[in-house]
Amino acid sequence: MGAWIDFRPLRHAHFRRLWWGGELSTLGSQLTAVAVLFQMWQITADTAAVGALGIAQAVPRVIGGLAGGSLADAADRRAVALLATSGQLLTALLLAAQAWTGLESMWALLALAALSAGCSGLGAPARRVFTPRLLPADQVPAGVALDHVGFQVAMLVGPALAGGLIGAAGTTACYLLVAASFGAALHAIARLPSIRPDGRGTRPGLAAIRQGWRFVLGSRVLRGVFLNDVLATVLAFPIALFPAINAERFGGNPETLGLLMSALALGGLLGGLASGAVTSARRPGLVMVLAAGTWGVALVGFGLAQSPWVLLGCLTAAGAADTTSVICRGSIVLLATPDSHRGRVNAVDPVVGASGPDLGNFRAGLAADATSATAAAVSGALLCAVGVAVQGVRNRPLREFTAR
């Protein structure tokens, strides 16, 4: 395989439908996030109320993800994805209705945002575990890479599209576009084959969720995968430090702050587009460890850089390394897990992925208050690089895990 992204999975009609449906769902979620944020500020002009949206969306997304993982190992995964996407479509129409009627209720908006996030979490595990059943094993990493590239594109395009549409036609029009995206995603999922878990499946509920966590903790490969992500995010996640570093070094210039945010996303997109060598690697565990170490080293450079171009280059390199790590992690999770447990194990991923960056930003803020933004950035990134190296050396099964 070459260095560029491997498009072979898109030759498979069912995976192509899954991919388009997933990207439309992601775009709809991005549009929803911006529209809800804008509308909450318009209604309340209160930063606390705007901040409450984070909790209102995070908690049901995690609960929905855990429930969706349990359901995906017990029932037809296509039916679970259809149920979740139908819920997102209905919620988008309700959001459009409250905007059109001028309801202007903070609590109604919080409830609908929570419902949309919960439906998104519910469907995520089922959508993820389709990939290894629709593709040959050697194309699963490439399928994960394509999913991640689509996600990065939606992250870049979605907020700008939402902002432009709200400015031109209002929030009602934005919510109607969200509904249209979920309707198209629903059609794509409906054309997928019915896929039930291998074996007898499991009874959904708390016991099944606990079994999924026990399976992760009992596997050195999976345990290492998620520990690697925790080390990278909790110790080194840099976004909370952007305003302080921008103020210290570049006079608080808002244009520079925007570039800091964009550099990570640009690096992530470039890393996905150049993922061919990564998805064809025989040992994705080793590649993931090296990528996470590179993330830490690049963020040390970010913490020390005085030139804006060096700083942006370090962030771009960090974003590319993060994408490489995420692609490897997703591939390993799918390939190292038996089909009977894939739904529940893939439900662990969003829990770790959602909480790690939040904890990382909290750590960075506390460290910066106690020392300085530079010290917080450099110390956290160094700890990340060392921690990843130590666990990579000690976890031989992860290091030697093969994708074949």
Using CB atoms within 10 Å of the CB of residue 370, give its burial: 0 to 12 exposed, 13 to 18 middle, 19+ buried: exposed
Asked whether residue 148 carries a pLDDT value surpassing 90, the answer given is no
Containing 173, the helix (H) or strand (E) segment is: helix 171-190
Cβ-based neighbours of 258, under 8 Å, separated by 6 or more: none
Quote the mean pLDDT of the chain: 88
Higher pLDDT, 292 or 273: 292
Both 199 and 247 in one domain: the answer is: no
Tokens of 171: 């929030």
- Domain range for 219 is 210-399
Structure confidence by residue, pLDDT tens digits, 316-329: 999 999 999 988 99
Asked whether residue 1 carries a pLDDT value surpassing 60, the answer given is no
Both 258 and 328 in one domain: the answer is: yes
pLDDT score for 262 = 76
Both 23 and 137 in one domain: the answer is: yes
* Residues 131 and 147 sit within 8 Å (Cβ to Cβ): yes
Higher pLDDT, 282 or 291: 291
The CATH code of the domain that includes 383 is: 1.20.1250.20
Tokens 């939402």 belong to 162
369: amino acid identity, one letter: D
* Assigned domain for 3 exists: no
The percentage of the chain sitting over the pLDDT mark of 70, rounded to a whole number, equals 96
Report the C-alpha gap between 130 and 196 in whole angstroms: 10
Both 385 and 252 in one domain: the answer is: yes
Cβ-based neighbours of 38, under 8 Å, separated by 6 or more: 162, 163, 166, 171
Report the C-alpha gap between 353 and 81 in whole angstroms: 20
* Assigned domain for 266 exists: yes
Among residues 339, 50, 7, 343, the alpha carbon closest in space to that of 147 is found at: 7
Both 157 and 22 in one domain: the answer is: yes
Among residues 57, 173, 179, 69, the alpha carbon closest in space to that of 115 is found at: 57
**Distances in whole angstroms, Cα of residue 318 to Cα of each of 150, 151, 238, 260, 294:** 19, 17, 10, 12, 7
Structure confidence by residue, pLDDT tens digits, 244-267: 888 888 887 766 777 887 788 788
pLDDT score for 76 = 93
Query: What is the rounded average pLDDT of the residues 37-54?
Result: 81
Cβ-based neighbours of 90, under 8 Å, separated by 6 or more: none
Q: Which of 204, 229, 255 is the last residue of a domain?
A: 204
Report the C-alpha gap between 93 and 32 in whole angstroms: 11
* Residues 20 and 188 sit within 8 Å (Cβ to Cβ): yes
Half-sphere exposure of 286 (CA within 13 A, CB side): 10
Structure confidence by residue, pLDDT tens digits, 58-117: 788 889 988 999 999 988 999 999 999 999 999 999 999 999 999 999 999 999 999 999
356: amino acid identity, one letter: G
Both 55 and 92 in one domain: the answer is: yes
Query: What is the rounded average pLDDT of the residues 371-383?
Result: 92
* Assigned domain for 228 exists: yes
Query: What is the rounded average pLDDT of the residues 45-63?
Result: 79
Q: Which of 186, 204, 222 is the last residue of a domain?
A: 204
Q: Which of 204, 221, 254 is the last residue of a domain?
A: 204
Both 133 and 241 in one domain: the answer is: no
* Residues 246 and 308 sit within 8 Å (Cβ to Cβ): no
Asked whether residue 237 carries a pLDDT value surpassing 80, the answer given is yes
Report the C-alpha gap between 185 and 190 in whole angstroms: 9
92: amino acid identity, one letter: A
Report the C-alpha gap between 78 and 314 in whole angstroms: 41
Both 199 and 231 in one domain: the answer is: no
DSSP 102: T
> What is the total count of domains within the chain?
2
pLDDT score for 179 = 96
Tokens of 335: 């390939």
Among residues 269, 268, 334, 274, the alpha carbon closest in space to that of 295 is found at: 268
Structure confidence by residue, pLDDT tens digits, 179-197: 999 999 999 999 999 988 8
Asked whether residue 11 carries a pLDDT value surpassing 80, the answer given is yes
303: three-class secondary structure by DSSP: helix
User: Residue 188's Cα: distance from chain center in Å?
Assistant: 21
Tokens of 148: 């991640």
Both 68 and 173 in one domain: the answer is: yes
pTM (2 decimals)?
Answer: 0.81
Among residues 72, 83, 145, the alpha carbon closest in space to that of 120 is found at: 83
pLDDT score for 56 = 83
Half-sphere exposure of 62 (CA within 13 A, CB side): 11
What residue spans of 371-402 are helical by DSSP H?
Answer: 373-394, 396-399
DSSP 241: G
* Assigned domain for 342 exists: yes
pLDDT score for 232 = 93
